[in-house]
Amino acid sequence: MKNLFEKKVNLILIIVILIVAILIGIPMVSRGCATSTSNGEIVTKPATADEAVTEETTEEPTKGDDIKDAKVKIKKKNASGSETETASEKTDPRKTSSSSAAKKKKKNSSSSKVYATAPKVENKASHAAQWNAGYLVAIDNPDTSYSCEHVELSDKDRSLLEKLCMGELGSGGFTGAALIAQAVKNAMYFEGYTNVQDVISSLHYTGKLTTPTKSVKDAVIYVFDMDKNAIQHRILYMYNPELMKDNYSSFHESQRYICTYQDVRFFDR
């Protein structure tokens, strides 16, 4: 009788253990990443939203994807900036009124102004070819016949020119100073001015004579000593609209526009 009771208890324990094992095993099987169909084909489990984001960010994008992503980021940034500006204007009515007044004033003051533009060309010149030739600023329609012979600078003229280049466009570094130096050299060579001071006086240069940096001095050497040019075109006149009354010069804009570098507009006759 005792043995029979022990056998029943053991049988019950075995059944309980089997039931527990089955209950534990079912969730483990259901968490698998793939299942097998009746025809033996393996079907991969679709990634969850979180997994999809992880895979998308860790996957190395192609060049096209980079460009697409960059465009999206720019659009988002612009949209964000626009929203911020609008909110700011709404919270401060004075800013809105002053901003609108400034825009209206600027529109009215510039309505009768015509800024010169470079002549359009059907076949644009190679910018790379201009840079390879030593020109610092490339344009679509360079003057391939342009040539400016050597102009000798005295020590006095060199010192004055370096200060002038620094004062006129020293913020433009080597390139900006080279453009000013070329304009002065072109005036001396094509217009017959014998010294830098005559160019300053006759062409009404108004930049302060400021102590030059090394890059400005190197730019003067590049243009005058090495007979290089900043741009493949003659330039005789220049001005910065931001420093002019009404941001405009009718004389300069009546000349032949060549290029703009850091707000400074350069012209030929």
User: How much is the pLDDT for 100?
Assistant: 52
Going by C-alpha positions, the residue among 99, 139, 103, 153 that lies closest to residue 256 is 139
Q: What percent of the chain has pLDDT over 90?
A: 57
| pTM attached to this predicted model | 0.60
Q: What is the pLDDT of residues 164-196, one digit of tens each?
A: 999 999 999 999 999 999 999 999 999 999 999
Residues 262 and 171 sit within 8 Å (Cβ to Cβ): yes
The residue-averaged pLDDT of 43-64 equals 40
pLDDT score of 111: 55
Give pLDDT, residue 137: 97
pLDDT: which is higher, 144 or 2: 144
- Whether 217 shows a pLDDT value over 60: the answer reads yes
What pLDDT digit, counting tens, does each position of 63-116 carry?
A: 444 433 433 343 444 444 444 443 434 444 444 444 555 554 554 455 578 999
Rounded to a whole number of angstroms, the CA Rg of the chain reads: 37
Of the candidate ranges 65-74, 89-98, 117-126, 136-145, the one whose mean pLDDT is the lowest: 65-74
Label residue 44 by pLDDT band (50, 70, 90): very low
Distance CA 113, CA 249 (A): 9
Output 228 or 74, whichever has higher pLDDT.
Answer: 228
Domain positions in the chain are 153-268
**pLDDT at 41 (0 to 100):** 38
Query: What's the confidence (pLDDT) of residue 76?
Result: 40
Instruction: Decide: helix, strand or coil at residue 205.
Output: coil
pLDDT of residue 152: 97
Distances (CA, A) of 261 to 82, 139, 172, 176, 267: 28, 12, 8, 7, 12
Residue with tokens 């570098």: 261
What is the pLDDT at residue 22?
74
Is residue 136 pLDDT above 50, yes or no? yes
Mean pLDDT of 247-259: 96
* Under 8 Å between Cβ of 161 and 220: yes
For the chain, how long is the longest CA-to-CA vector?
135
